[in-house]
Chain A
Amino acid sequence: MNTWSNIKTIAKRELGAYFTSPLAYVFIVIFLLLCSIFTFFFGSFFERGEASLNGSFFFWHPWFYLFLVPAVGMRLWAEERRVGTLELLLTMPITAWQAIVGKFLASWLFLAIALALTFPIWITVNYLGSPDNGVIIAAFAGSWLMAGAYLAISCITSAMTKTQVVSFIVSLVICALLLLVGTGGAFRFFEGIVGKSGAELITAFSFLTHIENFQKGILDSRDVLFFLSLIGFSLFSTSVILRGHRS
């Protein structure tokens, strides 16, 4: 009870911080612009002639997030450490976990808002045809879960440094690796070195492998578990890093 209200207080402050800085608005505008451009031009939304958002819209999300989510997550801890408010926050009567979860949830919620603002595309496809809305909802949920995984990794890198730019670059590199090992090229590359089952094991760690089912409308517990455990692991690492700074 107390735990939850502490988390809520932290999350509320953090979410407020996004919207008092221009970052939130810049992020949302860029995200929506990218979504529209890629869906209609590169995703050939109209030319496909099918009532679906899969190939045209959701297909690009892992790649947008690669650049955008580290930008959302970079300030989470780096800024607290730079300004010195970390000392204030961690001497309040809350646990480090409550602070970590609260801050993470705020950013994740922010990403949910950005994602929700793409709703005109969903309206458009419903206006033009009759898509399977179950698939679309699953894909939205998957996209949000995946964004959470990116974000959790940015949490770690943000806790590692006082410089936001360093956090951004490091988390971008880590996320890029997690993304790229899931591509066909990477699979063939690893297959040549460690064999087929080895390559499958490696690609099992990729975002791409786990987002595929969501985009097809399949909610597989293994995929959900993958993203959730990645988030849990990353937040745990964040707590270890924060404790390391203090001792």
Chain B
Amino acid sequence: MIKVENLTKLFGAKHAVDGISFSVERGEVLGFLGPNGAGKSTTMRMITGFIPPSAGRVSVGGFDVLDKPIEAKRLIGYLPENAPAYTDMTVSGFLNFAAEIRGMRGDSRKKAVTRVVEMCFLQNVLHQSVETLSKGYRHRTCFAQSIIHDPDVLILDEPTDGLDPNQKHEVRSLIRRMGEKKAIIFSTHILEEVDAVCSRAIIIDRGKIVANGTPLELRRKSEWAGAVTLTVRGVPAATVTAKLSQLSGAKRTTVTKDAGSKVTVTVFPKPNADGELTRAVIDASQGWQVEELHTEEGRMDEVFRSITMPDTAKEVAK
């Protein structure tokens, strides 16, 4: 549905987006991750046709965004960053306007508005002016606008930004549900969201794609993936680490907590040794009083940092 080829955007001499290529099919929810200023919003703005790319192509549903902007835009629902909405209108007026400009008239318009009002829980504020809405409601109003024409493609720039935990949960499950039938791209800073919602995630940093895969694949890149954490009572930390370090699958061991009588130790695996390590640790811990033992799945935040941090650190060092 969405095809991005070699997309580049220059602001002056600076590459805001630098030769990005990816595609999203129907039924996929693509999470867009990256530090602030990595080029997430700029990429989304180019996909939605708000800003023209400096180089490269975007096509949506087979329509090139530059050559056939109207046809492409018809297929897209877009929630811009900060969820702008006309402050001088009521929620109902705003949604009716959005429906009308999407070509809906009369009954179909009424139905579309009713549908998104229910989906986004806007019944209570329907006749309130957008200006007086709380951030969460304003966000959902703009979100409602983006799905009013039941688009095939949804581009959501930080759709859960500024929402409370309950609202976040609602929006996430809404995205997941809609993702079954649509092609969705959404950007976020919240890494747990990637697990909760995405079928695939892309991490971009300084305009380039630095990682692309399912959430599981991304987490596998973490050194925490397959690490075994073990809590033992009554054995000195030194004994525990000494024994576990000798395991063939272990790369290194660290003591994460040492309360004297109780120690928690994490064993990190050598590459491609996951699974076996857990078994080895269980065998090695025979005779100890083990209170807790679990295998880590890998940590998204750690992957995110290890991929995007080195560059940022270099920047600071300059």
Contacts and interface: CB of A to CB of B under 8 A. Distances in A.
A18 B227 CA distance: 63
Given A13-B86, A21-B88, A246-B52, A88 B78 contact: yes
Interface residues of A, number: 23
Q: Per DSSP, are chain A's interface residues mostly helix, strand or loop, or mixed?
A: helix
A91 B101 contact: no
Contacts of B142: 88
30 contacts: A2-B103, A5-B103, A13-B86, A13-B89, A13-B97, A20-B88, A20-B129, A83-B84, A83-B86, A83-B87, A84-B80, A84-B84, A85-B86, A87-B45, A87-B80, A87-B84, A88-B80, A88-B142, A88-B145, A90-B49, A90-B50, A91-B48, A91-B50, A91-B76, A92-B98, A93-B71, A93-B74, A93-B101, A94-B70, A246-B50
A77 to B, nearest CB: 14
Contacts of B98: 92
Contacts of A84: 80-82, 84
A89 B314 CA distance: 39
Interface in A1-45: 2, 5-6, 9-10, 13, 16-17, 20-21
A183 interface: no
Contacts, number: 69
B102 interface: yes
B47 to A, nearest CB: 10
B85 interface: yes
Interface of A: 2, 5-6, 9-10, 13, 16-17, 20-21, 83-85, 87-88, 90-95, 246-247
A21 B48 CA distance: 31
A94 B69 CA distance: 9
A91 B49 contact: yes
Nearest to A85: B84
B93 A16 contact: yes
Contacts of B101: 6, 9-10, 92-94
A105 B78 CA distance: 27
Interface residues of B, number: 32
A92 B73 contact: yes
A17 B80 contact: no
A88 to B, nearest CB: 6
B51 A93 contact: no
